[in-house]
Amino acid sequence: MTQARFAVRSASGDQPPVVSVVGDIDLANVEEFEAAMSKARNGSPALTVDLTAVSYCDSAAVRALFSIAADAQLTMVVKPTGHIATLLGISGLDRVATVVRRD
């Protein structure tokens, strides 16, 4: 079974809420990911999603992120290299959201 932990930090001052993910995201747990993002957002116009500790994610996660990016200012934090950076580039998600590359 696909395992991931979703940590939610609420907005403080001018900092948007943050969802930090550790583990894998695929079809099996993408709904948990969506729930964590929607809980974190709680009406906020912006959301940061930290994916630096994600070991695997696929287009299920990409679809969820696209749908957030459709009506919020989405910032994703990813490692500079590796398959998530590749995934964001191929899917075009990096053109509708802000991507911060950090180790």
Partner 1 sequence: MDEAPNVEGGVPVPADSTAIPALRGFAVRLPPAASPGSWVDVIALPDGRKGVVLGCCAEPSIAERVRSDARESLRRNGNPVSSLDRVDGLPVSAVGAVIGATTIAYRTHGDSAAVVVPDSGPTDRRDGDLVVCHLAPGATVLLSTAPIAGAAALLGSGAALHPDRLADLLAPAANGKRGVAVVLYRHPPDPMAITLPAAPANLAVSRERLRAWLAEAGLDSESCADVLLAVGEATANATEHSVVGADHEVRLTVSAALSGNLLQLAVSDDGRWKQATVSQGHRGHGMQLINALVDSVELTTTPDGTTVAMLKEVP
Whichever of 9 and 83 has its CB closer to partner 1, that residue is: 83
Q: In angstroms, what is the minimal distance from the CB of 63 to partner 1? A: 7
Q: In angstroms, what is the minimal distance from the CB of 48 to partner 1? A: 23
Q: In angstroms, what is the minimal distance from the CB of 42 to partner 1? A: 27
Whichever of 76 and 87 has its CB closer to partner 1, that residue is: 87
Dihedral of CA 81/49/65/53: which sign? positive
